[in-house]
Structure 1
């Protein structure tokens, strides 16, 4: 399989073309998945899901092979995010550690009534950068130091953003309950 014709062969559902994609882009797909999921096991599952999506959706890719790598990165990133959403629907919010923070006191029983899905709905209202920081910290268990390295934002700024996001989340959840 040559780079020139692999897209044509992939559109014709030639399994060798998918092997070529895996051999050429497999490490990239894994790294993108791991950067979102921070779990080897979930990242491996995401690689498989991404390859299946590439196979099933190759006809929606209308660009030339120069843009294929970018398409794979985006597809993998959103596949990983979908996995987080799927996992969060099956988990109760009491597994989150952010409500134990000394600076913030939740009203008794408030968080027990909320589901992760409702929290994710509120988090989705955050701006892109804060949403990414919040999810990495509280859903993917990144350290503040790791978040700082991956975003290029100082640790102090990360801590401040997280504090503001938690306060905003608490207020919006209180409003929903009342």
Structure 2
């Protein structure tokens, strides 16, 4: 079913919207969540929560790109679940590696002082991504937004793991400089 028809089902408050969303985007959302949580049950819970969040968001919202909308919700829910489960200890999984890699570039989110600050940071990162070539942007987004492991990322893009790691290292340094210029990172 086309995205606009699925969105129309949400607007009409038809429960079929959820089953159609799951049919079209379920495996996509499960893979994002599983990469972050590495736990099937927790991932399934986050996907189900994603459907609930989507039901509550549409209407009034009307996403232009449904896959990205769903991906962002499931990613954020999964990261929150990961952080809640690892609040007392630092794990050694892929998600912790992602957070550690970006920790030096992006201001800490420990205080919930202001959502505006988070939006400014997101806008600055988007401006940074616009400065990258297509391959670098793809590597950055797949690694830090979709939580794709370096080995898998390299295989999917037919490049070496070393190249992926060095590009990520250079991009993090450039991101840090970009955020410092914009007054976001110290």
* 1:28-43 equivalent positions in 2, closer than 5 A: 28-37=24-33, 38=35, 39=37, 40=40, 41-42=42-43
Residue in structure 1 matched with residue 101 of structure 2 by the alignment:
98
Q: Deviations over 1:29-66 (max 9, x none)?
A: 3322133332342453234323542465157669xxxx
1:77 partnered with 2:71: yes
Residue in structure 2 matched with residue 44 of structure 1 by the alignment:
45
Cα drift, residue 166 of structure 1:
2.6
**Structure label with greater radius of gyration:** 1
Q: Deviations over 1:105-138 (max 9, x none)?
A: xxxxx95x941588965654234424314415xx
Q: 1:71 to 1:50 in 2, by over 3 A?
A: farther
Number of residue equivalences: 145
Poorly superposed stretches of 4+, deviation over 6 Å: 5-9, 87-91, 117-120
CA contact (8 A) 1:130 1:165 kept: no
CA contact (8 A) 1:33 1:76 kept: yes
The gaps in structure 1 that reach 5 residues or longer are: 63-69, 100-109
Residue in structure 2 matched with residue 53 of structure 1 by the alignment:
54
Residue in structure 1 matched with residue 138 of structure 2 by the alignment:
129
Q: 1:10 to 1:76 in 2, by over 3 A?
A: closer
What's the TM-score once normalised by structure 1's chain length?
0.51
**Secondary structure of residue in 2 paired with 1:154:** coil
**Secondary structure of residue in 1 paired with 2:25:** helix
**CA distance in 1: counterparts of 2:6 and 2:164, whole angstroms:** 43
CA contact (8 A) 2:29 2:71 kept: yes
What's the TM-score once normalised by structure 2's chain length?
0.50
Q: 1:168 to 1:84 in 2, by over 3 A?
A: farther
Residue in structure 2 matched with residue 66 of structure 1 by the alignment:
none
Q: 1:57 to 1:163 in 2, by over 3 A?
A: same
**CA distance in 2: counterparts of 1:55 and 1:29, whole angstroms:** 17
CA contact (8 A) 1:29 1:73 kept: yes
